[in-house]
Amino acid sequence: MNHWKNFNKGFFKENAVFVLFLGLCPTLGVTTSAINGLGMGLATTFVLVMSNLVVSVVKSQIPDKVRIPSFIVIIASFVTMVELLMQAYVPALFEQLGLFIPLIVVNCLVLGRAEAFASKNNVVTSVIDGFGMGFGFAMALTILGGVREILGSGTIFGFDLHMFPLDADGNPITMIVFVLAPGAFIALGYLIVLINKINNKSVK
Amino acid sequence: MDYIIIIISAIFVNNIVLNQFLGVCPFIGVSSKVETSAGMAGAVTFVMVIATIVTYLLQKYVLNVFGIAFMQTITFILVIASLVQLVEIILKKVSPTLYQALGIFLPLITTNCAVLGVAILAVQKDYNLIESVIYAISNAVGFGLALIVFAGLREHMDLVNIPKGMKGVPIAFLVAGLLALAFMGFAGLV
């Protein structure tokens, strides 16, 4: 498999969210706006790339029986790093994402790639795989966040689109349900249908 | 009275799956049959309560005392991972029947964000030990409730004629959305 194919499989063909259904908790939990989705996606990408890198370097050193706990410790260390870095440099985003930052540890995507890919491949392919899957995940979260932000607040990345009528007080009348919990499930459901359609077309 | 508020708020108002989005992976993954969902709910309840007690004590008597609260994520996930293994070994010895029922779900629980999430939330909310335990039990009940109701709905959905592209996971998400909408009705309760 060449590097380009290895990289771009994470975007459509094996997209973590839309096709493999991994890492759904942060996907639904933080995507009330596009910027939150992007931030979460990039934080996860960092952890994914670094854990893939370390796992692929030390894979021959780890006995098979304690493989999973070792991977979890490696991942947890990088998550703690991300936590501290975000707290220091982007405190506003850190507040918004809240609980979901430490929960990157239990994101099935990260452990899944460590177990299924990095523990079987060399360093370069593992890092490329980490970037590909991570950016695919970030893309999915940004799209979902964008859709929910546009429909739910009438903005995208914070810019007002002026697409909804105003009420008597001058506030836009938006489809507020999309920034609430049910909207997350509904928006993701329809996005999966759309991605399935695109993937089926490209196969034919 | 405080306890009742914690219970109602955790089960209905801030349902862990439908409102807080924790444990969505098993919610979508293993909810195709009511029986398996009940097994999963049982296993989660078991691990969640024990994990919350252990992590609470660790946070209070180790992490806070030595001023290493930033190690929270690593410590908690290690505790949960080893607890799951321990529970598995003990169950195998003590109650083979229960092990048969819950066995296959136990390894999955390590990466169930609901368990780690509840452990962290209980610490963040500054609960004492009894409140933490009640919080963990109610969240587990909330998880089980959502999972079993959803599995019941999905069993019926197998018999319905659904457009081809919507079959399987997409329609499951739409139903979950409607279920979440229904649970929003509890919002004014507490």
Instruction: Report how far residue A48's alpha carbon sits from residue A11's, in angstroms, rounded to the nearest whole number.
Output: 15
Q: What is the pLDDT of residue B104?
A: 67
Chain A residues within 8 A (CB-CB) of chain B?
21-29, 68-69, 72-73, 76-77, 79-80, 83-84, 99, 102-103, 105-108, 111, 177, 180-186, 188-190, 192-193, 196-197
Instruction: Report how far residue B120's alpha carbon sits from residue B69's, in angstroms, rounded to the nearest whole number.
Output: 12
ipTM value, please give it.
0.84
Domain membership of residue B189 (yes or no) is no
Give yes or no for B181 touching A (CB within 8 A): yes
What is the distance in angstroms between the Cα of B170 and the nearest Cα belonging to chain A?
Answer: 4
Residues of A in contact with B82 (CB under 8 A): 69
Least CA distance to B19: which residue of chain A?
A181
pLDDT at B80 over 90: no
Percent pLDDT > 90 in chain A is 38
CB contact at 8 A, A155 and A129: no
Please state the φ and ψ torsions of residue A60, each to the nearest 5 degrees: -80, -15
A172, β-bridge pairs: A166
The reply to whether residue A72 touches residue B77, judged by beta carbons under 8 angstroms, is: yes
pLDDT at A204 over 70: no
Domain membership of residue B132 (yes or no) is yes
SS (H, E, C) chain A: CCHHHHHHCCCCCCCCCCCCCCCHHHHHHHCCCHHHHHHHHHHHHHHHHHHHHHHHHHCCCCCHHHHHHHHHHHHHHHHHHHHHHHHHHCHHHHHHHHHHCHHHHHCHHHHHHHHHHHCCCCHHHHHHHHHHHHHHHHHHHHHHHHHHHHHHHCEECCEECCCCCECCCCCECCCHHHHCHHHHHHHHHHHHHHHHHHHHHHHC
Give yes or no for B71 touching A (CB within 8 A): yes
What is the distance in angstroms between the Cα of A95 and the nearest Cα belonging to chain B?
Answer: 13
Structure tokens, B2: 């405080």
What is the distance in angstroms between the Cα of B15 and the nearest Cα belonging to chain A?
Answer: 10
Domain membership of residue B162 (yes or no) is yes
Domain of residue B69, residue span: 10-184
Within 8 A by CB and 6+ apart from A29, the residues are A100, A184, B20, B21, B22
Number of domains in chain B: 1
Confidence band (pLDDT; 50, 70, 90) for B156?
A: confident
Instruction: Report how far residue A165's alpha carbon sits from residue A171's, in angstroms, rounded to the nearest whole number.
Output: 8
Within 8 A by CB and 6+ apart from A126, the residues are A52, A53, A55, A56, A117, A118
From the candidates A25, A40, A177, which should be mutated to test the interface with B, based on the most B CB atoms within 10 A? A25
Cα end-to-end distance, chain B, whole Å: 11
CB contact at 8 A, B54 and B83: yes
Residues of B in contact with A83 (CB under 8 A): 70, 73
Best CA proximity match to B142, nearest among B40, B10, B33? B10
Give yes or no for B112 touching A (CB within 8 A): yes
- Sign of the CA dihedral running A151, A153, A157, A159: positive
Domain membership of residue B3 (yes or no) is no
Domain membership of residue B190 (yes or no) is no
Residues of B in contact with A106 (CB under 8 A): 77, 110-113, 116
The reply to whether residue A184 touches residue B177, judged by beta carbons under 8 angstroms, is: yes
pLDDT tens-place string over residues A130-167: 999 999 999 999 999 999 999 988 888 878 877 788 88
Q: Give the ranges where B59-128 is alpha helix by DSSP (H).
A: 72-94, 96-102, 106-109, 113-124
Domain membership of residue B2 (yes or no) is no
Percent pLDDT > 90 in chain B is 27
Domain membership of residue B124 (yes or no) is yes
Confidence band (pLDDT; 50, 70, 90) for A174?
A: confident
Give yes or no for B25 touching A (CB within 8 A): yes
pTM: predicted TM-score of the whole model, two decimal places? 0.87
The reply to whether residue B21 touches residue A102, judged by beta carbons under 8 angstroms, is: no
Please state the φ and ψ torsions of residue B136, each to the nearest 5 degrees: -65, -45
pLDDT at A1 over 80: no
The residue count of chain B comes to 190
